[in-house]
């Protein structure tokens, strides 16, 4: 049997199949490119997050160091205020002490501690000391001891040690607070 029509060459794919194949290839290439871009971007963001984490931890360390410095400065400020207040109180105490000393008595040495006062000086006589200086000292301190000696020049030298008990100190602080 023979045909009068010449056989035509058949294509491997018809037009519709070719369109579908091109569409599938294009989608596959698009998905591959999208996956590559997504992988690149995610690795970029991961690296950026790591560097930001390192910067953040460094900043946290800096903040902690600054907080420690701030705490230290606050403590130093409180200490400075306490020292200034102590110096004002000491200045006032010294002024009050020198106001107590009469003209007939000359001081050689004054040692003032927290609850103790040591005085050494010249007095015209024992009576001058006992009448002019001893009463104010006894009114301030709980214990007052004095020793008299004559020096090489024949002048009367006294050494007075005055001690304030802690209980008395607390009462005087309470009185000072109520007066202020």
pLDDT for 177 beyond 90: no
The whole model's pTM is what? Answer: 0.48
Compute how many other C-beta atoms are within 10 angstroms of the C-beta atom of residue 164: 18
CA gap 67, 162 in Å, rounded: 46
Residue 169 vs residue 73, higher pLDDT: 73
Residue 167 vs residue 68, higher pLDDT: 68
Surface-to-core class of residue 139, CB atoms within 10 Å of its CB (0-12 exposed, 13-18 middle, 19+ buried): exposed
Give per-residue pLDDT as tens, 66-102. Answer: 999 999 999 999 999 999 998 888 788 778 878 878 8
Compute how many other C-beta atoms are within 10 angstroms of the C-beta atom of residue 162: 20
| Angle (nearest 5°) at CA 110 between 108 and 116 | 145
Q: Average the pLDDT over 13-39 and give the result.
A: 94
CA distances from 133 to 121, 122, 162 (A): 12, 12, 12
Give per-residue pLDDT as tens, 120-132. Answer: 999 888 888 888 8
CA gap 107, 115 in Å, rounded: 20
pLDDT for 154 beyond 70: yes
Could you tell me the end-to-end alpha-carbon distance of the chain, in angstroms, rounded to an integer? 136
CA gap 42, 35 in Å, rounded: 10
Q: Which residues pair with 159 in a beta bridge?
A: 120, 147
Domain 101-179 has CATH 3.30.410: no
Give per-residue pLDDT as tens, 37-52. Answer: 999 999 999 999 999 9
* Cα 165 from chain centroid (whole Å): 34
The pLDDT of residue 1 is 64
CA gap 16, 91 in Å, rounded: 108
């Amino acid at each position: 049997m023979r045909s009068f029509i010449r056989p035509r060459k058949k294509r491997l794919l018809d037009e519709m199949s070719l369109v579908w194949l091109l569409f599938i290839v294009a989608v596959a290439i698009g998905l591959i490119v999208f996956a590559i871009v997504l992988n690149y971007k995610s690795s970029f963001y991961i690296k950026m997050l790591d560097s930001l984490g390192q910067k953040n931890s460094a900043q946290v360390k800096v903040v902690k160091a600054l907080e420690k410095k701030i705490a230290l400065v606050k403590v130093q400020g409180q200490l400075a205020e306490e020292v200034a207040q102590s110096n004002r109180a000491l200045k006032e105490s010294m002024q009050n002490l020198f106001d107590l000393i009469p003209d007939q008595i000359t001081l050689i040495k004054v040692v003032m501690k927290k609850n103790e006062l040591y005085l050494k000086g010249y007095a015209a006589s024992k009576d001058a000391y006992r009448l002019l200086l001893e009463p104010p000292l006894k009114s301030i301190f709980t214990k007052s001891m004095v020793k008299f000696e004559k020096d090489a020049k024949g002048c009367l030298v006294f050494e007075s040690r005055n001690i304030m008990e802690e209980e008395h100190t607390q009462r005087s602080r309470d009185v000072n607070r109520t007066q202020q």
